Chain A
Amino acid sequence: NAGVMQNPRHLVRRRGQEARLRCSPMKGHSHVYWYRQLPEEGLKFMVYLQKENIIDESGMPKERFSAEFPKEGPSILRIQQVVRGDSAAYFCASSPRTGADEQFFGPGTRLTVL
């Protein structure tokens, strides 16, 4: 039973480019969370999605960041016009249903902006 998959594991972008991070939840999971870990900091919540719906985006920066979780396919976290401050590890987690008590984490995508 495959766990949460994230790709790419490492992504290098130049300032001004776009970054697309993908997350495939565990089989049967319909809830996805994105977290960001800046150097020397803990994980910070960004957004919570269910299939085709954004439930809570209170942690998302107001500009340049967007997320989706379509009916088919992985969840995508998109960062437009990246800046050096976007360099971080981005983690995705999934859970199976409302009332579930654990979030299962993926290995993360390390984004480096040159």
Chain B
Amino acid sequence: AQSVSQHNHHVILSEAASLELGCNYSYGGTVNLFWYVQYPGQHLQLLLKYFSGDPLVKGIKGFEAEFIKSKFSFNLRKPSVQWSDTAEYFCAVNAGSAFGNEKLTFGTGTRLTIIP
């Protein structure tokens, strides 16, 4: 069975600080990896995804993530955060099947608070 760990439950940063949110997964086969964001009062939106190819993935709003297969990790990074990045961030995985439509397994989320 797949599992996802997000060790940072709540992160507080000042504007312009650099961000790295950890995500580790457990699964024996090929995986697809995702980061979703949930802004206050809004639904989940996709930040970025990794299926194959370049392990450094760039997403929207200046976010990027690096897939390190040997560490089973997919950490999210942003060099300089803004107040508007305050949100909850979820890492998710699904099995990399040929059909593509597989259930997502989510981490418990990291609440990010940016102080102006």
- Nearest to B103 among chain A residues (CB) is A45
Query: Within 8 Å of chain B (Cβ to Cβ): is A64?
Result: no
In the complex, how many residues of chain A place their beta carbon closer than 8 angstroms to a beta carbon of chain B? 30
Within B95-113, the residues touching A (CB, 8 Å) are 98-101, 103-109
Asked whether A107 and B43 contact (CB < 8 A) given A101-B51, A102-B49, the answer is yes
User: Across the two chains, which residue of chain B brings its CB closest to A59?
Assistant: B103
Instruction: Answer yes or no: B115 CB below 8 A from chain A CBs.
Output: no
CB of A22 closer than 8 Å to a CB of B: no
- Any B CB within 8 A of the CB of A106: yes
- In the assembled complex, B90 has its CB within 8 A of some CB on chain A: yes
Which residue of A101, A105, A106 is within 8 Å of B100 (Cβ)?
A101
Residues of B near A31 (CB, < 8 A) are: 101
Let me know if B32 is at the binding interface, CB within 8 A. yes
Which of B36, B43, B100, B103 lies in contact with A98, CB distance below 8 A?
A: B100
Contacts of B105 in A (CB 8 A): 45
By a CB distance below 8 angstroms, the chain A residues around B36 are 105
**From A41, which residue of chain B is reached at the shortest CB distance?**
B108
Q: Which residue in chain B gives the minimum CB-CB distance to A3?
A: B43
CA distance A106 to B107 in the complex (A): 19
A69 within 8 A of B: no
